[in-house]
Each structure stands twice: as structure tokens, then as C-alpha cells.
Structure 1
Amino acid sequence: MRTVGELAKAAEEALALVARQPAVVEAEVFAASNSALLTRLNYTSHIPCNGVEEPKSSEAYGLGIQAVFDAPDGRRIGFGSEPSDLTAAGAERALAKARKAAVADPEFVSLPAAATAPRSLTNYHDPRLMDLDDASLVEAGWKITGGALRTFTASSRLADLAGDDEALRRLGLILGGDVTILRERMAIASTAMPRVQTDETSLITAFATAMVESRSAKGSGAATGTRLDHFTDEAGVEAAQNAINAIGGERVPSGTYTVVFGRQPVADLLNNIVIPA
């Protein structure tokens, strides 16, 4: 990932460049670097598997400029961005896009200014997550898988169904899901806020689905957090235990029911519907 220092320098230099351009009344520059790390869970007791596989990562960074321009028919506001380039050339291209996309907005007053109250939330990211290496990413995946396997092997209900360890494997114990880590850094500066402001944030999530395939039983588990030292095997344990609890379950008749959503569906609703709206 690009460092906070690199982003702050890019935002400061881009703002200085934009301020020198003709017809620019005010501007806001946003520089960001985002990274997503993922390790996939895939355990099957009756089929050879790796338990944890496909660790991968993706990264993106770039500049965004929102600017207000003087025009013969009044002021216009536009936004332009340039991916994968924090240089002056990238800022010039982003500004050109903002100028081309500028439109009249009769409701526009001004770009945001710095808050008068002192900032209350700082340094809430986890440095360990921000600097996580490949081995630690895979270890996080194994933590969830290990929690599920310990729950399966410690279950007296599964032991009664199987009779011995070999038969336990033949029950078809399955675990799927992923551990995802999101890391974000940003810097922002504007005509009204020339001193660059920066921020960093980190998030770690785990979603797991477990099955006792021979009994058509399935359960899910989830966990979210912002610090690596708070990350436990909770999602794997929850998924496995829910799958065990579902053995011998009965299908609910068709009808109208009151539903209480768990954390995973609430997160899906927020991420895919509420927040984008």
C-alpha cells in the first residue's frame, strides 16, 4: 500500500497545482490507497483438501479532484479522478476530467471547510493489520478452520452418530467461507482546508458455512473486528455448532413469520442496499 506520507504529499502537491490553473475558484483533492486481503476456507473430511487455500490480495490507489470553475454563465462544479497515478501528471488529468464534467448547480454553496471542533477519533486502525504479511493472513484462515474442526471433533452428538474417528470423516464434515481484511488510507486537502488531513482504517471479517452433509445439516457463522489481537475462531465454532444443532431439523411450513436477522444478513443489507443508496 501507499503510505500516509505519500498520499499527503500527493494531495498537497495536487492542490497547489490546481490552485494555479485558470478559472479554478476552489478545489478539493482526495488521495486514497485501498487494499483487500482474502484467504478462502475449504475443508472436506471425506475428500482430500487443503483446508485453507487461494490467499490473494488486491490494491488500488489514485487521486480525485472536485473543483469549482468560473464560467460565462456562472460557476460550475465538476469531479474527475485518475487511478494508479499520484504524480502531477495524474492531477492534471484528473482536473481535466473535472473541467470537462463540470455542470451548473444552483443549489451549490461551497466545498466543505474544516470542522471547528477538534477531531475526536484518531489512530483507531490496527498497525498489525495494516502491515499484515502472507503467513499471518493464512494463519487467520486456519484459526477459523481450526475452530470448526475442534467443534466437530468435540461433539458428543457426532460421536454417537459416527461411532469412531474414521466414520466421523464419512459423515461429510464441510467448511467453506473466507477471511477478508480491508485496509484503507486517505489524505484530503482543499482551498478551504489547505492543511492536509489524513486517516487510516482497518477491518477484518470472517464468514463461514459448515455442513454435516450426510445429515443435510448446515450452519453459518460470522465475526467482524478492527484489530488482529481481537480476532478469534468464533466464526468457525459458530458455524460448526449451528450445523450440528441442525441435525434432525424440521422444514418450516410455508407461511408468514417474524424474522430476526443475524449479523451476516444485516451486513449484506447495509453493504449492498442501504449504504449505496
Structure 2
Amino acid sequence: MVNLTTLKETAEEGLRFLRRQKDVHEAELFVADNAVLTARLNYVSHIPCNGVEEPKSIESYGLSVRAVFTDPKGHRVGMGSEPGNLSLDGVKAALDKARRIAVQDPHFTRLPVPSSERRTLLKYHDPATMELTDTDLVQAGWRALSQALGVFEENGSLKTLVSAKQRLRDLGLIVGGDVTILQERIAIGSSQLPKVQTDESSLIASFITAMVEREDAKGTGFACSTHLNKFRGEAGAEAARNAVAAVGGVRIKDGEYRVILGPQPVADLLSNLVIPSLSADAFYDRSSTFHGQLSRQVANEMVSI
């Protein structure tokens, strides 16, 4: 990843340039670098496999400029971005885009100003996660997989399903999913800030599915952590336990039932249905779930976020 010092220097240099522009009343410069690291799990007990496959990473960086331009008819506000470019030329290109699309906004007053409160959250990221090595990523994947296999190996009820001539792997034990690590670094400078501010954050998330194929049993597990030394691969164990618990399950009849949604389905509903429907783009192209529902109740009164 691009180090924090480079992001800060880019923001400082870019802000000095923006302050020299005669038609810029005030401006804000945002610089960021984001990385997504993934260790894919693919274990099948009765087919040769590698267990942990496809360790990969995706990194993106760039900057954006939000500027308020002077105009005889009133200030105009515009925003432009430049991906993959942290140079001064990138700042200039982003400013040109902001200038071209700037419009008068009667509801805009000024860029955000600092509050009187002191910042209390500092250096909360995990340095080990931010400087993760390839080996660390692979080991994180194996940690989740090992937890799942450990549950399968130690569970007594599974052993009763195999005959004397069979082995546990003949049940068709499957573990899939991924361990994903997010790394984010930002620097932000503004005409309204005394100096450039920086921040770093990280997240380790694992989503695992385990199956006992011969018994048509499946279970899922998920977990999140912010520190590498606290990541134990619990999602793998949870998925395996849920798969074992599903052995011998029966299907319920069709009908309407009262259900309690856990954290995972709630997060899925919010991420894929509610939040996308609240974007301006969704309203403009009439694809929002809530299109035409202004001032109408769209959810049960018991729903609380």
C-alpha cells in the first residue's frame, strides 16, 4: 500500500495548489488508498484439493477535489476525482473536472469546519493487519479452515454415521468461503482545516460455509475482527457446528411463519436492498424499492436500525 506519509504529502501539496487558484473560494482534497486481500477456502474431503486457494489482492488509490468556485451569480460547487494518480497533475485533473460540472446549489453554505470537540479516537488500527504479508494472509485462511475441520474431527455424532469400513471423509465434508482483509488509508485537507488530517483502518472478515454432503446438511458462520492477533477463525468452527446440527433435518411445510432474523440476514437485507434503494441514482432511474412511497410507511414499526 501507499504509505501514510505519501498520502499526507500529496494532500498538502495539492491543497497549496488549490489555494492559489483565483476562481476557487474554498476547496477540499481527499486522498485515499484501499486494499482488499482475500484467502479463498476450497476444501473437499473426497476430492484432492489445496484447502486454501486463490490468495489474491486488489488495490485502488486516487484523489478527489470538492471546490466552491466564485461566480457573479453566486458560488458554484463541483466535485471531480482522479483514480490511480497521486501527483499534482492528478489534483489539476480532478479540479478541472470539478470546474466543468460545477453548479449553483442554494442549499450549500460552506465546507465542513472543525467542531469544538477534541479528537478522541487515535491510532485504533492494527499495524500487523495494515502491514500484512502474503504468508500472514494464507495462514489466516488456514486458521479458519483448521477450526472447521477440528469440529468435524472431534464431533461424535458424525462418527456414528460411518461404518467400520468407512472413514469420516467418506461423508463428503466440504468447507468453502473466504477470509477477507480490508486496509484503508486516507488523508484529507481543506480550506477550513488548520492542517491535513490522516487516518488508517483495517478489518478482518470471514464468511464460511460447511457441508456434510452425504447427509444434505449445510451450515454457515461469519466473524469480524480488527486485530490479527485476535483472529481465531471462529467462523469455520461455527459453520461446521451448524452443518453437523443440520444432519437429519426436515423440511417444513409451505406457509407463513413468524421468524427472527439474525445479524447475517439483516446485514444482507440492508446491504443489498435497503441501502442501494436510498441512493440518488436509484431514485433517478426509478429502480429504488421505495419508488413512489414518499410519506408512506415502508416497514414494520418494530424495525429499528
Range class of TM-score, shorter chain: over 0.9
| Aligned amino acid, residue 100 of structure 1 | R
Query: What is the CA-CA distance between 1:230 and the residue it aligns to?
Result: 1.1
Cα separation, 2, equivalents of 1:165 and 1:81? 65
| Aligned amino acid, residue 256 of structure 2 | T
3-state SS of 1:79 partner:
strand
**Greater shift in the superposed pair: 128-137 or 13-22:** 13-22
3-state SS of 1:161 partner:
coil
Cα separation, 2, equivalents of 1:184 and 1:164? 53
1:196 aligns with 2:196: yes
Structure 1 counterpart of 2:287: none
Structure 1 counterpart of 2:212: 212
Cα separation, 2, equivalents of 1:98 and 1:131? 34
Structure 2 counterpart of 1:53: 53
Task: Report the count of equivalent residues.
Answer: 277
Cα separation, 2, equivalents of 1:92 and 1:26? 15
Cα separation, 1, equivalents of 2:229 and 2:112? 37
3-state SS of 1:162 partner:
coil
What pairs up with 1:156-167 in 2 under 5 angstroms? 156-164=156-164, 166-167=166-167
The gaps in structure 1 that reach 5 residues or longer are none
| Aligned amino acid, residue 46 of structure 1 | H
Q: Aligned in 2, Cα 1:68/1:165: closer, same or farther, shift over 3 Å?
A: farther
Cα separation, 1, equivalents of 2:233 and 2:91? 44
Structure 2 counterpart of 1:123: 123
| Aligned amino acid, residue 107 of structure 1 | H
Q: Aligned in 2, Cα 1:13/1:273: closer, same or farther, shift over 3 Å?
A: farther
Deviation string 1:173-218 (CA, Å, 9 cap, x unpaired) is 0000000000100011111114011110000000000000011000
Structure 1 counterpart of 2:252: 252
Q: Aligned in 2, Cα 1:170/1:70: closer, same or farther, shift over 3 Å?
A: same
Structure 2 counterpart of 1:38: 38
| Aligned amino acid, residue 182 of structure 1 | L
Cα separation, 1, equivalents of 2:66 and 2:107? 16
1:79 aligns with 2:79: yes
Query: What is the CA-CA distance between 1:123 and the residue it aligns to?
Result: 0.9
The gaps in structure 2 that reach 5 residues or longer are 279-305
| Aligned amino acid, residue 127 of structure 2 | P
3-state SS of 2:250 partner:
coil
3-state SS of 2:58 partner:
strand
What pairs up with 1:74-113 in 2 under 5 angstroms? 74-113=74-113
Cα separation, 2, equivalents of 1:163 and 1:5? 62
TM-score by length of 2: 0.88
Cα separation, 1, equivalents of 2:2 and 2:65? 18
Structure 1 counterpart of 2:181: 181
Query: What is the CA-CA distance between 1:273 and the residue it aligns to?
Result: 4.1
Query: What is the CA-CA distance between 1:165 and the residue it aligns to?
Result: 8.3
3-state SS of 2:160 partner:
helix
Q: Would you say the 8 A contact 1:11–1:188 is kept in 2?
A: yes
Cα separation, 2, equivalents of 1:274 and 1:196? 34
3-state SS of 2:259 partner:
coil
Structure 1 counterpart of 2:262: 262
Q: Would you say the 8 A contact 1:222–1:263 is kept in 2?
A: no
Query: What is the CA-CA distance between 1:170 and the residue it aligns to?
Result: 1.2
Structure having greater relative contact order (Cα 8 Å, sep ≥ 6)? 1
Query: What is the CA-CA distance between 1:9 and the residue it aligns to?
Result: 0.8
